[in-house]
Amino acid sequence: MITSLSINKKIKYLFTSCAVVVLSILYLYYEYQNHKELFHQNIESEISLYYKLYTKTFTASTKQKNILIHNSDTINDDLVSEFAKSTPLMMDQSDVKKTKYSLTVKLIEKNTPIDTHLQKNINELENTNYSINFQENSVKLLGKVTDDTYVLIVKNFEEITQINSIIKLLFIKILFIAFFNICLVLYYIHLIKIYEQTQKELYEDFEQLQIDTKKVAFEDTLTGAATRLKFDETLKDLVNIASRFKEQHFTAIMIDIDNFKSVNDTYGHDYGDIVLKEVAKTVKNNIRKTDTFARWGGEEFVILSPMNSLEHSNLLANKIRKKISEIHFDKLECVTCSFGLTQFKQGDTIQSIMKRTDDLLYKAKQNGKNRVEYL
């Protein structure tokens, strides 16, 4: 399907596909960053809550030190138990360290020996109560408890697991976007197919319209003879050529059906149309392919015969006259025609040659009809 498209349509198709892919990637990257930021915000909110709770507990009873969230004077035991169930804590002691839970808390006093990096972080807590630092699989909160006491809270987490969850969610979105893109491409191809089909149909209709228009303009719908327009164009060309080249002579024959008005008056116009068609058919069957046979108007017809002499055209006219008189009609005994025939002469114009032909036809009518007058 795609290989059959034109170059412009292929470019549009590729541009659309690339645009959709780029927008999809940007959307997925935005979603990933958004989820990651939301994940970090949740972790920060959670660990800062631990810090605030521990600070309040320690401030209420400094003797407790590393015994976390256990002060019956300030905190209800039931609250401590419920909190402990949802956020299990680990007590960090100097002699024993147990990493049983995901959260560890370490109390740092002024005289506690610590490493240089941690001391540097403590020194940076002058303008804030705590700072949070994310690492690969944990987050650390270092905060003030008193002026000489600090707490280090470390929450371990499997960020990879969280990221995997995000990736799974994004994968579902990718499938949805891919499905949407496929539907979009198929719809786009469908539109192209409809467009091409429509263009093809419009082109075929246009061609047929041209044929029909040409047929209406150049062919008489009743008799099948050429129209007056076609005749005028042909006569103009013949006169121009014959005026320049003496050997390119031609003849013009005008035909009129005798007593045609009485046929219409007696048998009706429908029967008159039958007579016209039969006469036209007979004339067309007896002229050359190079000759132009046209309907002049009403019951009159004309023939233009290029490269034909007056003598040969006279023989042709009389042959046609005889053939017409032999046509069998069920309501008429016979139909006859009168002919006016002339040859192009140097100096002739369209008007002069047709005037002479018409005069000769009129002469044939005056001399008894069913005859050929030529000059």
Task: List Cβ neighbours of 218 (8 Å cut-off, separation of 6 or more).
Answer: 226, 227, 229, 230
Amino acid letter, residue 290: T
Helical ranges in 61-129 per DSSP H:
77-86, 116-123
Is residue 231 classed exposed, middle or buried when 0-12, 13-18 and 19+ CB atoms within 10 A define those classes? buried
Rg of the chain in Å (alpha carbons): 54
> What pLDDT is recorded for position 68?
46
Query: What one-character DSSP code corresponds to residue 219?
Result: B
Task: Please name every residue paired with 257 in a beta bridge, in sequence order, or none if there are none.
Answer: 337
Residue 129: name the closest of 45, 48, 44, 37 by CA.
48
The answer to whether the pTM exceeds 0.85 is no
CA distance 254 to 77: 128
* Active-site annotation, residues: 299
Residue 279: name the closest of 205, 334, 234 by CA.
334
> What pLDDT is recorded for position 98?
38
Number of C-beta neighbours around residue 294 at 10 A? 25
> What pLDDT is recorded for position 221?
86
> What pLDDT is recorded for position 88?
45
> What pLDDT is recorded for position 361?
96
Task: Please name every residue paired with 139 in a beta bridge, in sequence order, or none if there are none.
Answer: 134, 155
φ and ψ at 289, to 5 degrees?
-65, -25
In a structure prediction context, what are the per-residue pLDDT tens digits for the chain, which is 375 residues long? 444 555 566 566 667 766 776 777 777 777 777 777 887 888 888 888 888 888 887 776 655 554 443 333 334 444 445 444 444 444 343 443 433 446 778 888 877 787 888 888 888 887 788 888 887 778 889 988 888 888 888 887 765 555 566 666 776 777 777 677 777 777 777 777 787 788 888 888 777 776 666 655 678 889 989 998 889 999 999 999 999 988 888 999 999 999 999 999 999 999 999 999 999 999 999 999 999 999 998 899 999 999 999 999 999 999 999 999 999 999 898 999 999 999 999 999 999 999 999 999 999 999 999 999 998
Query: What one-character DSSP code corresponds to residue 368?
Result: T
Q: Give the pair of three-digit tokens for residue 191.
A: 């539109």
Residue 161, CB-side half-sphere exposure with 13 Å CA sphere: 5
Query: CA 25 from chain center: how many Å?
Result: 26
CA distance 257 to 337: 4
Q: Are 223 and 280 in contact (CB under 8 A)?
A: yes
Residue 66: name the closest of 152, 167, 159, 191 by CA.
152
Nearest-5° angle of CA 77, CA 79, CA 81?
70
Domains of the chain: 2-161 (no CATH), 228-374 (3.30.70.270)
> What pLDDT is recorded for position 168?
67
Strands (E), the chain: 90-91, 103-109, 130-134, 138-144, 149-156, 250-257, 292-297, 300-306, 337-343, 372-374
